[in-house]
Each structure stands twice: as C-alpha cells, then as structure tokens.
Structure 1
Amino acid sequence: MNFSTLRNIHGLFAPLKLQTTFKAVQQIQHLPFLPRSNLSLGILKGNDGTAGFEDILDLSQSKLMGELYLMVEHKLGLL
C-alpha cells in the first residue's frame, strides 16, 4: 500500500508503525544453515498467497538441505 495514501486515511502514525514493523521483521535472526525465507515480511506485504518462479524451482534449497542432513548425521555420529 502506498504510504502517503495510508497517511492520508489513517494519520501519520499508521505508516510509521508499519515501517517499524518491517524493519523489526527484517532483523529477525535465523539458523545459519537454513536459508532466509522472509515469510513474515511476505505476510506483512500481502505476498503470502502468491507463488512465483523462485518458490517452485529454487535449486539452491536442495544444496542447503543436503548440508543440513550432513550436519545432523555428523551430530548423531552416523558418519
């Protein structure tokens, strides 16, 4: 949504609160072996109901999941 339109409809506080929420969500930490998905940011922006090319055919995920399995097997002493 356009921030100027939001400000005209709801006042000055609404766009400031939304921008602060966006910044807070972007600073959330994640585990180092998992990819950053920005699901929370997508939900806030209203993109959670759409599927794009990168959602379906992302080949980098398979490499990261392979590393995850190696880390778990090493931790369990299976390697």
Structure 2
Amino acid sequence: MLDLEALGWENIFRRLAMLRARLAGNLIRIGTDIVTSQREAAGIISFRSSDAEALAALLRMRSVRVEARNGLVRVSPHFHNRKRDR
C-alpha cells in the first residue's frame, strides 16, 4: 500500500499542480474552453464539449477516466499519473 505521508503532501500537491497545468496547457492549445477556476481546482479540470457524453465515451474506450455532465467533461489527474499516461 502506498504511504502518502511518506511521499509528503507538499510533493503530492506540487505533482498535481504540474499535471493539471500540463493538461490545461494542452486543452488551451487546441482551443478548449476550460471552466474550472485555476486557483480552486486542485487537480481537477472541467471543460466544455459540444458532445461531452460522446467524448467521454471515446476517452473511456482509450482507458482515460473522465466524467461527463451538463455539457462538461471532467478530468481528475492523480499524482501517480505519468507523462505517457493518457
């Protein structure tokens, strides 16, 4: 079992911020409207999609864990995600 205390909460939060920033940058680069506040989001990003349910289904088929609700797709990277993870 992973010992989060041993990893250090500051390290975990720093990693989440880096993953979120990278994801946000990629979404912005392709013209996506991110609706989650940069300051209050922790690692979560929600963005608009004209067909959120279809996009979420496609991403899930590619083993990307997301949620879709009310025209938004929600992505929640975790500290253990790697660059090569989708």
- Is the TM-score greater than 0.5? no
Higher strand share: 2
Q: TM-score, normalised by structure 2?
A: 0.29
| Larger RCO (CA within 8 A; separation ≥ 6) | 2
Bigger radius of gyration among the two = 1
